[in-house]
Each structure stands twice: as C-alpha cells, then as structure tokens.
Structure 1
Amino acid sequence: MSSPPEHLPSLAALSSPVLQPAPDWRSLQESRAVVRVRTYAGDDAWLVTRYAEVKDLLMGSRVGRAHPDPANAARFINSAILDEATDQTDYANEIADHHQLRAVLTPYFSRKRMAALEPAVAALVDEAVDTLESHGPPADLMTVFANPLSMAVLCELIGIPAEDRDELGPLLAAASMLGGDAEGLAPLEAVIERLVTLRRQDPRDDMISGACAAGLPDAEIANVIAGVIFGGRGVVNHLAFGVARLCSDDGLRAAVTADPGLMPAAVEEMVRTASAGGVIMPHYAREDLDVDGVRIETGDLVLLDLALANTDRRAFEEPDRIDLTRTSNPHLTFSFGIWHCVGAPLARMELRLAFSALLGRFPDLHLVRPVSELSTPDDQLAGGLSTLPVAW
C-alpha cells in the first residue's frame, strides 16, 4: 500500500494562506479529481479535490468513518479523537447507527426549534459583546468572544447548566490537541455523564433529556454530546474567519452595514471561502470505488477536501470572490448527504447574529495586525486561527 515518500505530495508541505487562494492545493485540484497523497500521519491516502466528486462520494454509504480492520487502518493525522472514531465505531452497523443517531439529534435543530431558540441565542450574543466591550481594546476575539459564545450557545441547546461551562472549555481545548499524549474526548465525556445522570432524574426539554428518552445508554449519550460540543469548534473558527474577512474586505463590510438583510448571504459566502484548501473530512471506502478513473479499494483512506470543493471553478463562477448576489450557493462547508452537519441551522443563526451584533456595537472594529500576519495552529485538530487581536 505504501509508496516511496518522494513519489507522493505531502499534505504537511502544502501551505494554506489565511483568507487567500492556496496555490499548492489548487495545483493538486487542477491536476486531477483524485490525487494519491501522504497524510500528516505519514500514511497513504486518496485526496478528492473537486466539487462534483466530493459531493458524489458524500451521497449514500460508499464511504464511512469506520474501518474493517482499525488496527491496520491508514491514519489522517495523529489525533486521539479521530482514532477513537475509527476504533470504536461498529463497522458492520455504522450506517444504520449513524441514521439512528441523526434521528435523535435532528429534531433539536429543526426550523421550529431554531425559531424558538433564537431569542436566547441573541441574548447570549449580546452578553458576549458586552464582555468584549468591558474587556476593552485590544482583545483576542478567540479568547474573549468566540470560544465562550460558542460554548454558551451549545450548552443552552444541550441542557448544560451555566455553572458547568467553565469546566468544559479547558477539556474541549485539551481534546483538540494533536499528539500521542492527547486524551481525546474521554475527560469531557466523564463530565457529561454526570449530567446525564441528573437528567434521567429531572428530564427537561433539552438534547440530553431527549437522548435519554430515546433509550441510549449513558456512555453513548456522553460520547454523542461530547461530539456535538467538539463540532462547535467549527463555529468558533467561522466566527474568527468571518470577523477577519469583514475587517479586511471594505466592500463586504459596507454592503452588510448598508443593508443588514444581506447578512445571511454574506454568512454563506464567508463560510464557503473561509479556507481555500485543507479542510478535510477523512473517510474510508466501504466498497471498491472508481472515481475519475482512479481505482479506490475497500478500506482505503479517502480524504474529502470540502474547502477545495468550495472553491472549484467547475462549480462556482469566480470561486475566490465574495459574491452576495449568488443565486445558488450549494457549498459543502457543512458536508452533504447523510454526512451533512445537523447543527448547520444553529451555526448559521449564531454567525448571523454575532456578526450583526459586533458591527452594530463596534462600527470601527478592526484587526490589530493584517490578515497576512494571522496564523493557524498546527497542534489542534479543529484548526481555525491561533489568535485574532481586534480593536475598536
């Protein structure tokens, strides 16, 4: 299965400029739709680079997160969370279990539920903006605003008391770390399992109580809820990238300021273009595949690059440009098909409310240093920005 390292492009050697086109990744995309690469963990994998092929593979159950032989599965990156997902998922029943889990979670992200939740989210956004204002400039938006806001919103939805939020933040940060010493989601799950016990005794209208009512065992509920919380890291990243974009794109900022009704379209474009390559969802082939003439065998590691797909010129006209007039914007930021993120409606709401509140409260909000000097962490699975110093 392995090839000499020099024969394969190494993902670790590819550069990803912040909020700019990524020539290294785009070169792979232009070469072909499926490219054999060397992963961050040093294993071989297939990188799928183009929109049509990525979207097609996300439909149905031809790829999954489990592997028939986890001990010998190729690894994407040295992450305890991804290793747990591969090792602990029941390969034979993965797709059925996935559908069952989505059936439990989806009602909590329905249109009706989001409409009912929006006033509470708006209040949490206002509190977060108050905290940022009280902190005073300069401030790291990640630490003072984005991380605590995302955690507060998730806890509101899930049913985690406010007094427990401070404990969860450090555990989530630790779970995101890469390397052999990372403990994954286990410490976070232990805290949640205590809350599950409380909700069985005192059920409420929240996600933990719903999972209990669905008959899931405590350990599985804790694992699911921990996964939902970890998924919230994506919102943190998009809050940061979005603010960086709004503070560096005068035309975009002027447009949404003059017409707040454009903010939903702006959110779609900002999440589509947050990265130009390297936002990868690792899967394994559940059957032999032929993709763009490339033979992928059962069990092979398949890397679906959602960011590259989102900036594929075959799918989007002028893909690197923020265009608030796009009549169709079927980006894959929240994935697609059975793998589509159930939390996408909440993410969209939170981003819309947060960007609007920040621009409304701080008309002079600006970056302390230029976008070219912003960096992404190389020791965290969730990526995003290391820091985002702002002033007003």
Structure 2
Amino acid sequence: MTSELISSQEGICPVTGARASGMSRTLTPTGDPAWLATGYHLVRELFVEPNLGRSHPNPETASRMGESAFFGGPVGNFASERADHLRMKSLLQPHFSVRRMREFQPRVEAITARLIDDMAAQGSAADLHTALAVPLPLLVICELLGVPYEDQDRFREWVSAVGNVSDRAKAEWGVGELFEYCRQSVQRKRRDPGDDVTSRLCADPELSEQEIATFAMMLLFAGHETSVVHIGVGVLMLLAEPSLWRTLHENPALLPTATEELLRACEPTNLPRYARTDLDVRGVRVAAGDLVLLGLTSANHDPTVFTEPSRVDFTRQEGTHFTFGYGARYCIGAPLARIELQAAFGQLVSRFPDMRLAVDKETLIMRDEVFTGGLHTLPVRW
C-alpha cells in the first residue's frame, strides 16, 4: 500500500502507514475511502465486533472494493443481516461438518488420484492449474451439490464473471446465469431427489425455491473458487522453495501442519466490513457506514504472534491464521477445503518427489481481474 493512500495523521508509522492503533485511512481500488485494520489482535477483535457487518443501509452510496457481485460492495439486508446469517449457517453448516467431510475424504482422495493419474499419463510436463487445481474442487463441489460436472465450463465462466472486479455488467450477468442454473437444479431435485446437499435442502418444507437456489449458488461459487486459488498458490510456494517440497516428501506426517502454514503464508484478500453504528476502535472514530478492511495478510504475518512470519515453517505451533475467517464469520467450507488441499499437496509430493517449476517464478501471471486472485497457469515438470 503506497503512502499516498494513507491520510496524514499523527501517530502514523512512516514505513507501514499504520497508526499505533492499527487503524489507518486508505483508498480502495475503486478510489473509495476506507479504514484498514492491521495486526493480529485488532483483526481478531473486529471479526467479532457485532457492529461490523457486510450490509449497508444505503448500498448505492457505500464505498466499494470493486465491481464483484459478492465481494465488491455491501451484500444482504441491513435490517435482517444478523438473523439471515445465523439462519444460513444453521442450515448449511451440518452438511459441511468435520464429521461429514471426514466421511467424504476417501472420495476426495480418489478424485485427486484419478486427476494425477491422467496428468502423469500425458507426459513429464503439465499445467498444474488446469490439470488439478481447477478440476479437483469443481468435481468435489459438483458431487456434493448433485450437479453435473459436464457443465463445468459454464460454471467457470460464470464464476469468473461473478468475481470480476472491474466490469459490473459482467459480474451481474454471471450472478444471473449462475442463479438461474441453480434454480433449475432445485426444480429437478424436488422432482427427483438424490443423495446430495441440494436434495437435502429441498426436503426442508420451510425453504423456498429462491432460498435454496441462492444457497446453492453461493456454495458453487465459494465451494470451489477459493480452493482453486489455494491449491495453485500452495503448490507454487512448495516448488519455489525446493527444501519445502523435500521436507514434505520425506515427512508426510507434517501434511496437516504444512497445509495450515501454507494457508497462513499466502496473501488473502482484505475482507470488507461496514460499520453499522459509530464505533470507537482503539481511540479511532469510525463513522456509521464506513468501510473497514480487515487486513488478513497483516494479521497472518504479525511478528508479535508469528516468529519470522515471512518464513514457511511446517512445525510452527504459534497462532491461528485467519485465512478462513474467525468467530461467527468462520468459513463453513473450511473442513472441505482442508481435505482438498491435503489431498492435493500430499499426493503430489508423494507421487512426484522431483517435481519443479517449468518456468521462472517471476514469469507467472496472477489473476488480478477477479477478487480471489490466484494463478492463470502453473507449468511444472517432473
């Protein structure tokens, strides 16, 4: 973040731009004013602050992060946001519980193995992004929701459109297409239910077709897009430091902690929140309606919590990263994402002990057109 984006106030660090309070003024990519919250402890406090939310009483005038439909600005009904969020979690969380995901783990492992077999059969070079990072989460979420994987090309196009940060018309088109697809899927499931999350939601007489379609749309988007990003970025971190790849190959028992460390070491997007009332945040006045960005990268790399935070340490025991959120806003899909990441990392290092990048790391292009980020390609050799 450049110093030009930080307002001139007393107590601001000339290097980081952060106030002693951890709150600093900034501008979003759209040029809108916002507060940036930095540091592990402040971000944790604000995650559980009841007067910060995702909705806004006047969404058309609210500061925005971009044009993305789900992430660019306010979402939800201001009057009922808290109740709506609790209802959503109570309905969806049981379908993604740790127990359910452990039962589903052998299936994820089998899907991963098949994709890696297909990749290996093509020769000693591949684009890991298209061979594994994209299809694995897609296959998994399609199976969980009971939608045909054959429609994956359409899903990817719509999901990319939904996450677009610069073209609002494209983002709105993506939402419309994705919602209509899910609405038709709900209608089919009500006529012919199966053993999947969508069918189980359809069995609830209190849920409307629109509600179930909205839930399915959210799951289809979030249930694979973030895993695509983390598989690609995680593998890149492992390959960019060959000693990490060797360590995990020689010590497979480190896989769970290695996965958490790779999640911590990544650079997640700042999370937007809107002040529901005037707030005093460590002596800084945040006005009702102000946009507050929770600086996840800052929190996950806070040197007061993580020793040598820039170093990837698979034996690290200190702190808990916020990549999946915290408190009531903790991601319900985190257990599934962990299973997918561990399957991908574990099978790759086991199967390909000598895998390496096929291009210079500096030549890789990140996806800056969508808010989730990630890689366009990940060429590898073995």
The Cα RMSD (Å) is 2.3
CA displacement at 1:346 relative to structure 2: 0.6
Unpaired stretches in structure 1, ≥5 consecutive residues: 11-23
2:30 is aligned with 1:41: yes
Per-residue CA deviations over 1:183-209 (Å, capped at 9, x if unaligned) read 242211111111111111222332212
CA distance, structure 2, for counterparts of residue 56 and residue 6 of structure 1? 25
Matched, 1:377 2:367: yes
2:67 touches 2:164 (CA, 8 Å); kept in 1?
A: no
Aligned twin of 2:123: 136
For 1:386 and 1:35, the matched residues in 2 are separated by: 32
Q: Distance in 2 between matches of 1:251 and 1:245?
A: 11
Match of 1:216 in 2: 207
Listed as ranges, the matches of 1:1-392 within 5 Å are: 8-9=5-6, 27-29=16-18, 33-82=22-71, 86=74, 89-178=76-165, 179-182=167-170, 183-214=173-204, 215-231=206-222, 232-275=224-267, 279-392=269-382
CA distance in 1, matches of 2:124, 2:15: 37
Q: Counterpart of 1:240 in structure 2: which amino acid?
A: G
Question: For 1:93 and 1:159, how far apart are their aligned partners in 2?
Answer: 30
- Conservation of the 8 A alpha-carbon contact between 1:60 and 1:337: no
Structure 2 Cα separation of the partners of residues 234 and 255 of structure 1: 25
Decide whether the 8 Å contact of 2:246 with 2:353 is kept in 1. Answer: no
Q: Per-residue deviation at 1:312?
A: 0.9
Question: For residues 359 and 150 of structure 1, do their structure 2 counterparts lie closer, same or farther at Cα, with a shift above 3 Å needed?
Answer: same
CA 1:315/1:145 → structure 2, altered by over 3 Å: closer, same or farther? same
Q: Is the 8 A contact 1:104 1:210 kept in 2?
A: no
| Matched position secondary structure for 1:342 | coil
Stretches of structure 2 that go unaligned for 5 or more consecutive residues are 8-12
Q: Cα gap change, 1:245/1:186 in structure 2, threshold over 3 Å: closer, same or farther?
A: same
Paired residue total: 371
SS of equivalent to 1:47: strand
Instruction: Give the secondary-structure state (helix, strand or coil) at the position aligned to 1:334.
Output: coil
For 1:28 and 1:222, the matched residues in 2 are separated by 43
Q: Percent identity?
A: 39
Q: CA deviation at 1:303?
A: 0.7
**d(CA) in 1 for partners of 2:17 and 2:220?**
33
CA distance in 2, matches of 1:137, 1:189: 40
CA contact (8 A) 1:25 1:308 kept: no
Q: TM-score, normalised by structure 1?
A: 0.88
**1:48: how far off?**
0.7
8 Å Cα contact 1:29-1:50 kept in structure 2: no
CA distance in 1, matches of 2:49, 2:37: 17
